[in-house]
């Protein structure tokens, strides 16, 4: 059986009966990567042709994105309470912040009783309501930066094992 694949550097590799046959431009990088003195000496362990480095990277990135979204929308800490951060809650936060900013600019007193994730009530001043959106933005940024770091590790992995070694959250 013959399978041809392109590695992450665009070099064509042919798998023939479990042996890797290299193109003429075989170089030290690939020799070191596969711990072989020549391509013909490297016997490929039972390779599932449907599982490629690109497929493994794509699946891992999708998993990272899914976990990122769940964490992003799973709530965040503010004033020692967990507040909801799902899309509906984010919309309510934006409206509350807009109202608080209007009250601040008009010099009016303003406060809201906000229902937390555990159904307790958090009474906030206008300044605290504005701070709620700042905390939400910091929460989202922290999660997205971590996800980017993980996806960069997946992108630079040169083997399927390397992709699988990237731990999620």
> What confidence tens digit (pLDDT) does each residue in 116-169 have?
999 999 999 999 999 999 999 999 999 999 999 999 999 999 999 999 999 877
Q: What share of the chain is helix, strand, coil (3-state, %, to 5)?
A: 50, 20, 30
Given pLDDT bands bounded at 50, 70 and 90, which one contains residue 6?
low
Q: Which residue has the higher pLDDT, 87 or 33?
A: 87
Domain locations along the chain: 1-49, 51-169
pLDDT at 65: 92
Given pLDDT bands bounded at 50, 70 and 90, which one contains residue 105?
very high
Residue tagged 């008009």 (tokens): 106
Q: Please compute the mean of the pLDDT values over residues 50-73 and round it to a whole number.
A: 90
Query: Among 28-32, 51-55, 130-134, whose mean pLDDT is lowest?
Result: 28-32
Contacts of 140 (CB under 8 A, 6+ apart): 72, 85
pTM of the model: 0.67
């Amino acid at each position: 059986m013959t399978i041809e694949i392109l590695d992450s550097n665009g070099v064509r590799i042919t798998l023939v009966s479990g042996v890797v046959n290299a193109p003429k431009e075989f170089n030290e990088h690939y020799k070191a990567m596969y711990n072989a003195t020549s391509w013909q000496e490297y016997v490929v362990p039972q390779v599932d042709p449907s599982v490629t480095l690109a497929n493994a990277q794509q699946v891992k990135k999708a998993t990272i994105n899914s976990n990122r979204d769940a964490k992003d929308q799973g709530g965040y800490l503010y004033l020692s309470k967990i507040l909801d951060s799902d899309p509906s809650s984010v919309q309510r936060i934006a409206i509350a912040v807009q109202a608080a900013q209007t009250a601040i600019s008009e010099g009016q007193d303003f406060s809201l009783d906000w229902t937390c994730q555990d159904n307790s009530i958090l009474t906030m001043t206008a300044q605290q309501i504005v701070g709620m959106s700042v905390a939400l933005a910091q929460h989202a940024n922290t999660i997205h930066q971590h996800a980017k770091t993980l996806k960069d590790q997946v992108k630079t992995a040169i083997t399927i094992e390397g992709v699988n070694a990237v731990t999620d959250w």
